[in-house]
Structure 1
């Protein structure tokens, strides 16, 4: 869950050898970390995310909750299975535990997405709404006028009857093809693409740059990192806050019904 531990301690903790023997194995070049031979005594790793091998055999640990932030490339599907055999987000994250994506990004969209094996964490992030808005940078053909943008901001109904949620939109760069920042708190599937398409300004490029307080501009496309303990705790506190608000709303409705 984002904690870095010395390699010899991880190996010893897995019950393979003693810590002193683990140090010997490291010095002898018999330990690899994510495919790279490690000989430094001070080397550290994250046992929940990193692949550690001794003499070619994977060091296994007891299952733990894993929380990963991935910068998804285009043409990668947000699913744990795909009948068409396309590359999945789970293929890009090398951890032992079986993870699932928290929400989705469509096939042609890149950017930040969370993966975990913690169902409660998934529920919290999915229901966070205003507490953890999703922020996107979108490149569209042309430049929508302010009337069009205001119509998109307040939410709109598509011709097929689909109701699109409210959004916050601001211009980043104007040109023949313009860039906008779009903030969603409860977006529908492919909402940004659908709403700009309906307005006559199809999306040319779409990238998610933030999930709530998570905004990792230094994470290269196709790479991932584990969330820190502090980041996970912050989301879990958000969950407790959401639960408290839900209980207050429930009590209020009960009082109104009884009056």
Structure 2
């Protein structure tokens, strides 16, 4: 599929109003709209500096689109194919990743800050953030994820910095000495997802089944009803028993429902 633009850079997409939306975060990016998987692509250009990185479909059908490098949430109407408003991030340096919504409140992971920020969507007002346990002990970065019921699930990494992208080149901006994670090893995704249940305000983990041939890293997710598919790969262990640097076999893990363990 050929995409419009000088150098399109698409990481994420979603389905809304019977359409496929792709988010081009390049420096001439925008929302790419397809009426069918094989259909033509039309591009809705983004405002300067507000290039779409990803989107979350809300209960009213609008799509909440995260932008970069100017950090806002924009409301996108997929029926009329127009932007209808925006909410600036709570701080200019916030690095928000995974989101979910429960009872009108948006919960967003502030990736390398060890917290969830909370926004009242109707009032467009940011509330007190929620500190996440085990930050800088078990993980250093909270990423994207999914929602089941009242709970949000977020992938985790030992990386201790924001994931920043240069829109002009499409390359990650990596700070000096960023290769070592919070566990003292080369940074890596974890064998678990962070879980926050907004109804009980409790944290827990969804932990991948142990593997006999290495350490399971899980990252990307897809939800169909009550089925959740998590993908990753198994990393062979080093001599000291910790995860090494070489990637092993790919794994796909299917879970039904919201089973989890390790509640905090």
* TMscore range, shorter length: under 0.3
Name the one with the larger strand percent. 2
- With the length of structure 1 as denominator, give the TM-score of the two structures: 0.26
- With the length of structure 2 as denominator, give the TM-score of the two structures: 0.25
Q: Which has the larger radius of gyration?
A: 1
Name the one with the larger helix percent. 1
